[in-house]
Amino acid sequence: MNDSSYTPPLGTGATADYDRAIRRWTRELRWREAMLTVLAAKPGETILDVGCGTGTFAVMLKMAQPGVTVIGIDPDEEALAIAETKARAAGVDIGWRRGFARDVEAASAHAVTSSLMFHQVPMAEKRAGLQAMRAALRPSGRLLIADYGRQTGLMRLLFRATIQRLDGVADTQPNADGVLPALISEAGFDDVRESVRIHTLTGTIALLTARRS
Ligand SMILES: C[S@@+](CC[C@H](N)C(=O)[O-])C[C@H]1O[C@@H](n2cnc3c(N)ncnc32)[C@H](O)[C@@H]1O
């Protein structure tokens, strides 16, 4: 897990600037609150947030539904340190683990979430990550992904000028071409749906849901 083996939270930018950038450029509250609504977590559920980064969604989730067990997984040590500080300041208890999406262990989670992670990872890791996430779910477990999906018109230009400058083209272009729903189906999930599309200054962020049969 060395620094060049993955793209860190803000790509070529500093991780310390990540939260401010996301707040300023992505209409963050809009899509994070949409995630909470679509996820509809219930007390007693265990939810894994894969590629949790600086922990904003994991903390929001635990604050919105204190009865859930939340585990955040990310390879980036600096991001996890920020996440831990954020959780402590919010007074919530979250399990943080260092690892890649493909390392997510088989388990019986009720739901797996992931935001803004898949556009940053190579095709092989998108596939391996989705397979591991499926194995981490119990039957009928839910998958919820919020990420840059198919980009069209102006959104494609904005995505190119912002996200692709920070994160490169190789890993991000398949997302912009709309590859995620097919990859989710290929990994064995059912009921793959796009429930929300939010246009931002950095491109369109889509919420995708699916279920483990
Ligand atoms: C843009 S950040 C998103 C962070 C967070 N989910 C959010 O919504 O703010 C992408 C995160 O994915 C992590 N990441 C990169 N490659 C990964 C991989 N192969 N598996 C899991 N996480 C990865 C990065 O370290 C980074 O924290």
Query: What's the number of domains the chain is made of?
Result: 1
Convert the pLDDT of each residue in 48-72 to its tens digit.
999 999 999 999 999 999 999 999 9
Residue nearest to atom 26 of ligand 1 (CA): 9
**Cα 90 off chain centre by:** 21
Structure tokens at 47: 């939810």
Mean pLDDT along residues 106-123: 96
Please report, in angstroms and rounded to a whole number, the separation of the first and last CA atoms in the chain: 32
| CB crowding 10-33: b at 16 or more within 10 Å, else e | bbeeebeebbebbeeebbbeebbe
Rounded Cα–Cα distance for residues 109 and 181 (Å): 21
Q: State in Å: Cα 85 to ligand 1 middle.
A: 17
Binned at pLDDT 50, 70 and 90, residue 1 comes out as very low
Protein residues whose CB sits closer than 6 Å to any atom of ligand 1: 6-9, 22, 50-53, 56-57, 74-76, 79, 100-101, 115-117, 120-121, 125, 129
Full residue range of the structural domain in which residue 37 is found: 3-211
Q: State in Å: Cα 121 to ligand 1 middle.
A: 8
Q: State in Å: Cα 138 to ligand 1 middle.
A: 23
Dihedral sign computed on CA atoms, order 199, 25, 112, 136: positive
Q: Please choose from 31, 120, 121 the residue to mutate so as to test ligand 1's pocket, defined by most ligand atoms within 8 A of CB.
A: 120
Structure tokens at 87: 């959780």
Residue 2 has pLDDT above 90, yes or no: no
Look up the pTM and report it.
Answer: 0.97
pLDDT at residue 4, as a whole number: 72
**With contact defined as beta carbons under 8 Å apart, do 116 and 148 qualify?**
yes
Mean pLDDT along residues 103-132: 96
Name the residue among 48, 78, 80, 76 with its Cα closest to residue 62: 48
Mean pLDDT along residues 15-40: 97
Assign residue 133 the CATH number of its domain: 3.40.50.150
Residue nearest to atom 18 of ligand 1 (CA): 100
Q: State in Å: Cα 154 to ligand 1 middle.
A: 25
Convert the pLDDT of each residue in 172-211 to its tens digit.
999 999 999 999 999 999 999 999 999 999 999 999 999 9
User: Which DSSP state fits 93?
Assistant: -
